[in-house]
Structures are given as C-alpha cells and as structure tokens.
Amino acid sequence: MRAREVVFVDGVRTPFGKAGPKGIYAQTRADDLVVRVIRELLRRNPGLPPERVGEVAIAATTQIGDQGLTIGRSAAILAGLPKSVPGFAIDRMCAGAMTAVTTVAGTVSQGAADAAIAGGVEHMGRHPMGEGVDPNPRYVSEKLVDTSALVMGQTAENLHDRFPAITKQRADAYAANSQRKVAAAYAAGKIQPGLVPMAVRSAEQGYGLATRDEPPRPDTTVEGLAGLKTPFRPHGRVTAGNSAGLNDGATGCVIAAEEVAASLGLPARMRLVDFSYAGVEPEVMGVGPVPATERLLARNDLTMDDVGLIEINEAFAVQVLAFLDHFKIDDEDPRVNPLGGAIAFGHPLASSGVRLMIQLAGEFAERPSVRYGITTMCVGMGMGGTVLWENCGSGKTAPAREDHDD
C-alpha cells in the first residue's frame, strides 16, 4: 500500500494554568483536562464520525495518579468515544505531544487508521516533574552524565556557559519580547480560537470557568527581569522570568489522511512533510532542536531560508537563542514565534508540542504565501524534536513522498 499524505485537521487546548495550590486547576483532575479537549475536537469537527477515530495517543511525562492508567485509552472512554476506539499513553518528556502526533501520523500514513487524536497533558501542580523517579546510580557512579543533566534549569545554565555570547541581558530581552507578543496576540484575538473553556473548582470561590492562560505577565519589562533571583546557580543567568514556568494544561489535535479528510469535509490546515528527533549531551539538552532541525532540512533538500514560520518551544530563553544563533537568525526575526511562546504562555511539559502546532496552523491560514513551517523543541535527558509542515493553503503541490533513513 502506498503511504498516504497526513494532515493536521484541527487542534485545541485548555488555557494553561499556574501549577500549585493557587493555580486555576489546583482542584481539577488531569484526565478531565484531556476529556474536555477530546470532546471539543469532536464538537468542532462534526464531519468526523467518532468510530472513524482509529487511535487516541495522549502524552504525559509523569504517568501516575490521574495522568496514569494508559491515559489515551482511559480519556477516550471518559470522553464518550466508542469503546472500539483504542488508545495509549506516550512519554518523551517535553516532546510528548509532538511524539504522539508523529506516532499516529505513521499509523495513518500506513493505512492502519483513517484519523487519530493526539495530544498531551501535564498537571505539574499534582505531579511535579520527576515525581516518583528513581534514577539509576550508574548515571553518576560511571559518569555517564553530570548530575546537572537531571535538573533542567541547570542544563540551561550549562548552555549559557557553552555560548557566552548569550548573556543574561539578551535572554531577558528575549523573554520580555515574548510577553509583549502574547499580549498583542490576545488583543488581536489570535489565541482565543484555539482555546476551549474549562470548568474549574475552588474550595474558597466555588465553580468557575477558565477562558484565558493564567501565566502571561504583559507588564513584564527588561528592567524588572534584571532583578530576579537565579535559583540554579549563584550569580547565574537563568531566572523565573526568562524561563517557562511550572504549569498545568492539556492539548489535542485531529490527524487524518488527506484523502479521508477531503471525503469527510474536514479541513486540512497543514500537511505533515517529515519529522526528526536527535540526541545531544543531556547536560545541554537545550541545544537539541539544532541537530534535529539540521537533519530534517538536509533530508528534504531545504535550508532555513525556505522556512517561513518557526514555532520553537521556549523552555528557556537561552535555548531559543542558541538555536537562532546557530541558524544565523536575528533575535527578533518575525518568523519566530510571532504570537509569543512558552515563557509567557507556560509549558505544561508533555502538552506543549501541540500548542506549537495550533499556533503554526493559525499563522499558516493568515499567510498563504508561506509554504513551509516547523515546530521544534528541546527535550529533557538530551534530545530535540522538529516537525516540518507544509501550508495546505499555500497553493503549492505536495512533494512526492520518498523513503528516507533518519
């Protein structure tokens, strides 16, 4: 059977919340966040019969408690999908939702499913990163990695060490700009179409409705960021202001064969061209998007000049700046995160990959002259992932699919 073209039909997410007892989702279950997303995807796409969903893949970095029990399957049942629809859980830390998408894309491409739902969830208030983890002592005793590899903030400080041209001042300036872009995107109504309101409960305030992301700080200034503490190193460069926070939230999207989407009257917002994952030294995991993107571009005979939009996850400002420097891209290049990024929105680990896709699809719709875009992110334990997308509204013909060795 020939490989089928795979398209991103639609994507939604809950507003992201701050992790902790005062966050909007402090008393909301993680699996209920996923259920809300799945139900909204089905509501927004009535042309997709629920029984045609061939797989539900949901990522979570901490797969215990209300993020456990094979959450892709359990959330599908809770959302009311037919019990004939299978599901599974997936983990690639920050790139969990991205991996969920690329995994089901292979399933759809090969004809094992016509459509699938993929996404991710992280409730860092209930399940802090690393909860219950028991790292093998060989990591340290055999010096396989430095101990800093297990603390993401320390890996960001290591990245500053490796690239001294990326100063704290430059990282702060990037962070403040991300906050400005998110505020502008909200004011222009560009974020709201991708959000699904989520019912929340507070013992003090009763029931409510989350309709906006909680983390953004639109009044952020470079001057204000300059005085923040550096928790990962005395006199360091990584602060809460130039990093993504600890957050709660869920994302999801519908992936389908292009021919199936057309037959069902579903939109094809962008076409998945190719993807790549790469490993790097765990101590500098933030540089992971560089080799993942290099490999992807080379395999498709493209350069960064061919990429009209770049959605890169802002785990830390230094990580984004290292990527930009490598590809000789200006810090304020309009192709990069035009609607802002995770420093403002938040980064609920395994869910963030689909947030990048939702924003890219929205930007594609407004820019028919742009043919290619990428979603890319660094991944804990020393990895990076990048997906190459083609704008279905660009008027270009899909390239012939070839077999490649990654």
DSSP symbol at 351: G
Contact status, residue 364 vs residue 269, Cβ threshold 8 Å: yes
* C-alpha radius of gyration, the chain, whole number: 20
Tokens for 251, please give them.
């994302």
Residue closest to 246 by CA, chosen among 124, 91, 63, 379: 124
- In whole angstroms, give the CA distance from residue 117 to residue 35: 12
The residues that bridge with 118 in the sheet, in sequence order, are: 57, 253
Burial 170-184 (b: 16+ CB within 10 A, else e): bbbbbbbbbbebbbe
- The H helix count followed by the E strand count for the chain is 12, 12
Contact status, residue 171 vs residue 318, Cβ threshold 8 Å: yes
Q: Residue 294 burial by CB count (10 A; 0-12/13-18/19+): exposed, middle or buried?
A: middle
Residue closest to 335 by CA, chosen among 319, 345, 326, 324: 324
- In whole angstroms, give the CA distance from residue 18 to residue 246: 6
- In whole angstroms, give the CA distance from residue 72 to residue 100: 10
- Catalytic residue numbers read 94, 347, 378
SS3 at position 185: helix
Angstrom CA distances, 230 to 240, 279, 284, stand at: 8, 27, 18
Opening angle at CA 79, ends 77 and 83, nearest 5? 30
